[in-house]
Structure 1
Amino acid sequence: MTETIDCAPNSAEARDIRFHLHSYTNARLHEATGPLVIERGEGIYVFDSEGKRYIEAMSGLWSVGVGFNEQRLIDAAVAQMQKLPFYHTFTHKSHGPAIDLAEKLVTMTSHLTPGGMSKAFFTNSGSEANDSAIKLIWYRSNALGKPDKKKLISRQRAYHGVTLAAASLTGLPNNHRSFDLPIEGVLHTGSPHYWRDALPGETEEQFATRRAEELDALIQAEGPDTIAAFWGEPVMGAGGVVVPPATYWDKIQAVLAKYDILLVADEVINGFGRTGTMFGCETYGIRPDIMIVSKQLSSSYMPIAALIANERVLGPVMDESARIGTLGHGFTAAGHPVATAVSLECLRIIEEDGLVANCALQGARLRAGLAALADHPLVGEVRGVGMIAAIELVTDKAAKRALEVPGQLGGMVNKALQDNGVICRAVVDAIAFCPPMIITAAQVDDLLVAVSAALDRVAADLGF
């Protein structure tokens, strides 16, 4: 191994290069460049090992809604650790924080689906929750005497996680390459990105109609009796902040209802305020059978996620568990008492501090400021909703094309932003923004100044 990074042999950077395999990272390039080591956090800011301050405009990984040093969450974790540091939910066992959080989540989401939600099932990550949903849906089909009703439909550019089955639902090529994915029975239909995928002269509603017709045709081709469920993020996150066009979700849901296909709403990024309402399902009138939540649930202070499902899903599952004698699925740390206690406190903060309203208010300010950059030579599209947004970067506006190598332009702007004290995320050639939900108007303005300066710097480097 050749290390070209200039650092002391026993520094954190050098030890990271030697011992740590990173997610979503070019492993060989990392040996040469090393990591940005973050030492501490304060509000919307994080500080690296050299003391440099950054606006964390991605909330870590779309997730630290209440900021990086919320004392109430720290206190909740300490108090629960002192009282009951671990217990499980296997074999008729439970504990107070898991019971309280399950009740809270079912209550919060019941108005979103006819008949209300029934129960919550806890996992440690969104990937595990989506994987669990797949297993429960297959289990349900068997319980109903429909062993062929097992196929799942997701969308191109979707992100639903990285476990074997959840990564198959994910519609991003690099999550499939060399992993032998997707697994059999997972299908993908077109993404809802109007700017990128619409035909010339096609309106948003016409585009939405075409996407719904394509879904209908896929179901017909595969056989309606073989399709169990459809997965969708209300707003796509890791696929580039893809906001659905007008009427899209109404039309998609009509197709699913026509064929009695379950709808799984992946709210891992959208949930608990990001879209300017408590859930993305509220923003877009989505009526799910299953919801997947994580990230903002604990502000990522603790690993936790949940699957929340209605009786249409869980009734047959519970009956089948009675026939077999057990529901043979679960995770050691699922519903962990510390994680559930922290999540309960996080939800109290979101509600008591009006963070959903702040997402709507400051998100509008952020998106308006980004929209004001629309005439910049590197800006092809600005999109977003609530406190989640993206700039699609181009070098040729008419052709909607960036540099020859996909992701090169995004990487350049992302680096310029980091140099300017802003941590964002380049999704190929889109720059995504998802700052903490506590951000103020003044901090939004600081972020916008840094974005404009980074675009200008890269444009000058490219000769614009």
Structure 2
Amino acid sequence: MAQDLNANLDAYWMPFTANRQFKKAPRLLTRADGMYFTDDKGRQILDGIAGLWCVNAGHNRPKIVKAIQEQAAEMDFAPPFQMGHPKAFELAEKLVQLTPAGLNKVFYTNSGSESVDTALKMAIAYHRVRGEGARTRLIGRERGYHGVNFGGISVGGMVANRKMFGTMLGGVDHIRHTHDPARNAFSVGQPAHGAEFADDLEKLIALHDASTIAAVIVEPVAGSTGVLIPPQGYLQRLRQICDKHGILLIFDEVITGFGRTGNPFAAQTFGVTPDLMTVAKGLTNGCVPMGAVFATQNIYDAFMNGPEHLIEFFHGYTYSAHPLACAAALGTLETYADEGLLTRAAEMQGYFAECLHSLKGEPNVIDIRNIGLIGGVELTPLPGEPAKRAFNVFLDCWDKGLLVRTTGDTVALSPPLVIEREHIDRIIDTLRGALRRAA
């Protein structure tokens, strides 16, 4: 079986992958169940990253599988423009019962990248329909990740995601990232120092004038750049500045949404409610592509003017509210509710943090960061070979039956929320061994 699979690798140009290295030594997954993948050699691989920050309920969950199967047999597709189907409305009602108070409108997309571009368009259009059409500027953050569409990489701040793709969107600026290892290294949970980094926004407002700025977008926890936890008071300060100047605040919760930080959404964990919030990944447990943008009633109402027969917001996707995706999401929400998974990270984070921070002092570990069931272990780069040390650790963990993720020289962990203590022990023990062997 392995030989047959390995013989047909050439045609596929793989995303965010070292294609040449992979095709010399493929890592092929063939099955998944609970906390584990199975590879093409029959080995069980402990999933330390919930697939790709998305399989929050674990793999092969019966209610999700059944919901998808039954929906495919009943109705495979329904056009989303000028039409609807019951599950789209049922899902929206269930979702807004979980969101922070005030975020009570749902616009469906198919991915986190599409959710981000949708939210950016909503923000600019919102100001225009209110008569403030000069508010077109968007503010992102250094080291931010907001997907891979042009809007997302424009407001994003990860250099490798931007440098090959030209000038991107105009009218975009960035505040500083919050990574401050000199003061905050090895913080458990939110770092004590760095709330003042939010004041960068005031500097950009002074430069550009608030009347030109539509929105600020940040990840509550910056995940793909290496797990950067917001300093205490930082998000609150951003909210205050946005309110002061009439700027919309967008939270990108594609990674943090659906239980990752110990609440349904990180906005609730940190006590800050944005005006727009993007989600995807955990919305369907990764089973069917789907995303969404949550908006306040005020933003929605601003568009509801003019003749009733005219479209209010010229935006959407062929697969918005796809029936299979809605069914998967409903099955996912039921699974989360049955097992208390949207708050389970709060129950497990103490033991997870204790075990994760036990890696302090291991070879080349220069920082450890955590919140909920998210962890990051930052390593000293190999001289002249950035990202290689962490990649070597990734390969070592794979060989020992553990799937982790690396970004730069940080090893990231985001296990399914169904994780038990014995899984945490195995993840940390395997990672510890790999760190020692990589020394």
TM-score, length basis structure 1:
0.89
Counterpart position of 2:84: 94
SS in 1 for 2:99: helix
Query: What secondary structure sits across from 1:319 in the alignment?
Result: coil
Assess, with a 3 A threshold, how the Cα gap between structure 1 residues 102 and 356 changes in structure 2: closer, same or farther.
closer
Q: Match for residue 424 of structure 2?
A: 444
SS across alignment from 1:82: helix
Q: Could you say if the C-alpha distance between residues 36 and 142 of structure 1 is closer, same or farther in structure 2, counting changes exceeding 3 Å? A: same
Q: Residues 338, 299 of structure 1: CA spacing in aligned structure 2 closer, same or farther, 3 A cutoff?
A: same
Q: 1:64 aligns with which of 55, 58, 63?
A: 55
- With a CA cutoff of 8 Å and minimum separation of 6, indicate the structure with the bigger relative contact order: 2
Where does the alignment leave 5 or more consecutive residues of structure 2 unmatched? none
Residue identity matched to 2:5? A
Q: Say whether residues 1:405 and 2:385 are aligned partners.
A: yes
**Which of 409, 412, 416 matches 1:429?**
409
Q: Deviations over 1:44-82 (max 9, x none)?
A: 110111112111111111001111211111101111112
* Structure 2 counterparts to residues 250-399 of structure 1, below 5 A: 250-319=236-305, 325-394=311-380
Measure, in 1, the Cα distance between the counterparts of 2:228 and 2:156: 14
Provide the secondary structure at the position in 2 that maps to 1:188: strand
Contact 2:145 2:158 (C-alpha < 8 Å) held by counterparts? yes
Residues 56 and 417 in structure 2, CA contact (< 8 A), matched pair in contact too: yes
Matched with 1:105 is 95
Which residue does the alignment assign to 2:27? 36
Q: Is the 8 A contact 1:105 1:308 kept in 2?
A: no
The aligned residue for residue 85 of structure 1 is: 76
CA–CA separation in structure 2 for the residues paired with 1:206 and 1:366: 23
Structure 2 equivalent of residue 23 of structure 1: 15
Residues 283 and 290 in structure 2, CA contact (< 8 A), matched pair in contact too? yes
Shift of 1:238: 0.5
Shift in Å, 1:148: 1.4
Distance 2:129 2:183 in 1: 39
- Percent same amino acid at aligned positions? 32
Query: CA–CA distance in 1 between the matches of 2:330 and 2:159?
Result: 36
In structure 1, distance between residues paired with 2:347 and 2:171: 42
How much does 1:292 deviate?
0.8
Partners of 1:185 and 1:436 in 2: how far apart?
A: 38
Measure the CA separation in 2 of the matches of 1:85 and 1:448. 43
RMSD of Structure 2 on Structure 1 (CA): 2.1
Residues matched between the structures, number = 434
Matched, 1:414 2:404: no
Q: Distance between the aligned counterparts of 1:440 and 1:230, measured in 2?
A: 37
Report the Cα offset of residue 295 of structure 1: 0.8
> Distance in 1 between the 2:42 and 2:230 partners?
40
Does the residue aligned with 2:8 lie in a helix, a strand or coil? helix
Q: Is 2:181 aligned against 1:190? A: no
| Cα shift at 1:402 | 5.2
Provide the rounded CA distance (Å) in 2 between the counterparts of 1:337 and 1:223: 44
1:125 aligns with: 111
Matched residue SS, 1:313: helix
* Counterpart residue number, 1:14: 7
Letter in 2 for 1:68: H
1:363, CA displacement in angstroms?
3.0
**In structure 1, distance between residues paired with 2:231 and 2:103:** 27
Report the Cα distance in structure 2 between the residues aligned to 1:222 and 1:327, rounded to whole angstroms: 27
Checking the alignment, whether the CA contact within 8 Å between 2:193 and 2:231 is kept in structure 1 is: no
1:196: Cα distance to partner?
Answer: 6.1
Equivalent position amino acid for 2:85 in 1: H
Please say if residues 100 and 268 of structure 2, whose CA atoms lie closer than 8 Å, have aligned partners that are also in contact. no
Structure 1 residues without counterparts, runs of 5 or longer: 1-6, 395-400, 460-464
